[in-house]
Amino acid sequence: MNLDILSFENVTFTYDTEDGTVLPAVAKVSFAIQPGEWVALVGHNGSGKSTIAKLMNGLLFPQEGSVKVMGHTMSEETLWNIRSQMGMVFQNPDNQFVGATVQDDVAFALENNGVPHAEMVERVHEALHQVKMADYKDHEPHHLSGGQKQRVAIAGALAMRPKLLILDEATSMLDPQGRMEVIETIRRLRESTGLTVISITHDLEEAALAGRMIVMNEGHKHVEGAPKDVFKRGDELTGMGLDLPFAMRMTHLLQEAGVGLQEEHMTEDKLVDELWKYYSKA
Amino acid sequence: MMEKMIFGRFIPGDSLVHRLDPRAKILFVFLFIGIVFVANNAIGYALLLGFTLLIVFLSKIRLYFLINGLKPIFILLIFTFLLHLFFTREGDLLFSFWIIEIYEEGLRQGIFISIRFLVLVFMTSILTLTTSPISITDGIEILLGPFKKIKLPVHELALMMSISLRFIPTLMDETGKIIKAQMARGSDIGSGPMKERIKAVVPLLIPLFVSAFKRAEDLATAMEVRGYRGGEGRTRFRQLDWRLADTLSFVLLAGLTAVLWYFRT
Ligand SMILES: Nc1ncnc2c1ncn2[C@@H]1O[C@H](COP(=O)(O)OP(=O)(O)O)[C@@H](O)[C@H]1O
Ligand SMILES: [Mg+2]
């Protein structure tokens, strides 16, 4: 079991509210993530995804169960060491930009962890290269697009050379172009460094890119598995307020309309491929 | 008018003055403020004015640009000048008409005070025009470093300053958006009597405040996640670099002081 980079064991968390206790935001959730995986955590708004993210890096502590990261149980003592090994990117590109310029922002975590100056310069440079933002190092945040700001935020996390990167709805405030940039960056990073990624999203299109999906519903873990298996539960997912990827909905509609497609398609490219084949056969 | 106002603005450039260490520039301006008071006669003030123009020249900021940008300040300057001119009643009477009487001492005082005011405004403007806000913050943080011993939260103050500077454009954008959103809902900002206009600001400020608090909360979370634990044990990415030119600038200032002292009466 020590192989897991991160694991939740029966984790329950309820927010303190003024009107007494309410439903737990996260209830008896267990899962484990192995090094090198890309896991998508999906669920409707308010299903407990962000709460899980906060439990992952000790912004919150579970009332029941335990959170383990790289073999250490999350506690006040292990907290800062754990945090230095995991990067986290949030939803709003503006609200996580601390530095005055791109390179200052990337250096922020390094400064906090007391990295010597010479090494800091090197790591900032390297991280900016990894997200292809090196040309923008002296730019101020208000001159960057949302997608660029998110890439800077990713660089800020990468500068710490983390083992794990968590993205909490990091693409949900971006335009399609910005989303593409961020997703492409993650994909490339995983290829070149084998980084473990947990991406939290309510967009199943994005989740389809991950190796594994964990679906949350009202604080409970609903199902877990490879995207193509999870997507087989089509109506169940739409019933929980999730939108199936466009290619899948299209496939279903075509099949209903009597077009004899053989497979379920998660990406548009694959659907288009089969349509071509279908067309040339017909 | 606010567009042209340059008091407190930064104009990137690559002059000798731009390249000086922010610590040197801040100290320089502070010392200069003291030194200005050494001058007490025509030669002294002429020297001050000459010195200031030399610095303006070295900073490669066009004098016209500087004067144009400081127009609102000149109104204040002229006002002070006139005040001294009309209300000082010492020395010989130079001019008299109806109830206006101008004395020699009044004219002298008026000119001297105006020059003093002018050189101070020029010098501080050059400081901010040639130093990015973030460098000024860095400079202040290091200069105030010794005060950490008496528990002055120097690092926190500097961080507050730099974050405020960082968020000014963001919040300005947001204000613009809120104004448009309120206008789209039929609110009329910027016209009508004063009372109405003040009232119209409320639906602008409330959403702005709500969002600023949300931003503050998000930012705090993002900082914590990135390992921020206060100033203890932190290293600095921005390094300041004190060079020969910085030391020489103080030699220049010492020279000015010596000459002023020599001519002082
Ligand atoms: N700070 C908070 N205080 C009280 N309740 C909260 C707080 N944050 C989230 N919640 C509640 O917890 C539940 C899960 O929220 P969250 O984890 O943010 O969901 P998601 O990220 O999936 O949208 C929601 O019902 C939400 O209202
Ligand atoms: Mg959320």
Domain boundaries, chain B: 16-131+241-263, 158-225
Residue of B nearest to A115 (CA): B235
User: Does the C-beta of A17 come closer than 6 Å to ligand 1?
Assistant: yes
CB contact under 8 A, B219 and A113: no
First to last CA, chain B: 42
Query: What pLDDT score was predicted for residue B130?
Result: 93
pLDDT digits (tens, 9 = 90+) for A110-139: 999 999 999 999 999 999 999 999 999 999
Residue of A nearest to B213 (CA): A95
Give me the interface pTM, i.e. the ipTM. 0.88
How would residue A155 be classed by pLDDT, with cut points 50, 70 and 90?
very high
**pLDDT of A4 above 80:** yes
Q: Do β-strands A6-13 and A26-33 pair in parallel, antiparallel, or remain unpaired? A: antiparallel
User: Cα(B167) to centroid of ligand 2, in Å?
Assistant: 23
Q: CA distances (Å), B186 to each of A41, B177, B203, B246, in order?
A: 42, 14, 12, 56
Q: Whose CA is nearest to atom 7 of ligand 1?
A: A15
CB contact under 8 A, A112 and B229: yes
**Would you write out chain B's pLDDT as a tens digit for each of its 265 residues?**
445 667 677 888 899 999 999 999 999 999 999 999 999 899 999 999 999 999 999 999 998 888 888 888 888 899 999 988 888 878 777 777 887 788 888 888 899 999 999 999 999 999 999 998 889 999 999 999 899 899 889 999 999 988 988 898 889 889 999 988 888 888 777 677 888 778 878 888 899 999 999 999 999 999 999 999 988 889 999 889 899 999 999 999 999 999 999 998 8
Overall average pLDDT of the A43-69 stretch: 93
Q: Which of A15, A19, A47, A202 to probe ligand 1 with, by most ligand atoms within 8 A of CB?
A: A15
pLDDT digits (tens, 9 = 90+) for B107-140: 888 999 999 999 999 999 999 999 988 899 999 9
CB contact under 8 A, A140 and B235: no
Instruction: For residue B134, list chain A residues with Cβ-Cβ distance below 8 A.
Output: 100-101, 104
Query: From CA B58, how far away is CA A239, in angstroms rounded?
Result: 70
Q: Which atom of ligand 1 is nearest to A48's Cα?
A: 17
Query: What pLDDT score was predicted for residue B97?
Result: 80
pTM given for the model: 0.84
Query: Tokens 């961020």 — which residue?
Result: A182
Residue of A nearest to B168 (CA): A142
Q: Which of A22, A41, A47 to probe ligand 1 with, by most ligand atoms within 8 A of CB?
A: A47
Query: What pLDDT score was predicted for residue A2?
Result: 57
Mapped onto helix, strand or coil, the DSSP state of residue A17 is coil
Residue of A nearest to B218 (CA): A95
CB contact under 8 A, A117 and B214: no
Instruction: For residue B170, list chain A residues with Cβ-Cβ distance below 8 A.
Output: 94, 141-142
Query: What pLDDT score was predicted for residue B4?
Result: 61
How long is chain A?
Answer: 282
Cβ–Cβ under 8 Å, residues A265 and A248: yes
A6 vs chain B: nearest CA distance in angstroms? 16
**Beta strands across the sheet bearing A164-168:** A86-89, A164-168, A196-201, A38-43, A212-217, A220-225
Q: Can you count the helices (H) and strands (E) in chain B? A: 10, 2
Query: What pLDDT score was predicted for residue A150?
Result: 96
pLDDT digits (tens, 9 = 90+) for A180-205: 999 999 999 999 998 999 999 988 88
Nearest to A88 among B166, B225, B233 (CB): B225
Q: Whose CA is nearest to atom 18 of ligand 1?
A: A50
Mapped onto helix, strand or coil, the DSSP state of residue B59 is coil
Instruction: For residue B214, list chain A residues with Cβ-Cβ distance below 8 A.
Output: 95
Query: From CA A225, how far away is CA A211, in angstroms rounded?
Result: 9
pLDDT digits (tens, 9 = 90+) for A62-109: 999 999 999 899 999 999 999 999 999 999 999 999 998 999 999 999
B150 vs chain A: nearest CA distance in angstroms? 23
CB contact under 8 A, A140 and B169: yes
The torsion of the CA quartet A195, A198, A201, A207, rounded to 10 degrees, works out to 70
How would residue A282 be classed by pLDDT, with cut points 50, 70 and 90?
low
Query: What pLDDT score was predicted for residue A1?
Result: 47
**DSSP states along A186-241:** HHHHHHHH--EEEEEESBHHHHTTSSEEEEEETTEEEEEE-HHHHGGGHHHHHHTT
Q: CA distances (Å), B64 to each of A33, B9, B40, B81, in order?
A: 65, 16, 28, 21
User: Cα(B112) to centroid of ligand 2, in Å?
Assistant: 64
Q: Show which of residues 104-143 on chain A sit within 8 Å of chain B, judged by CB atoms.
A: 104, 107-117, 120-121, 124, 140-142
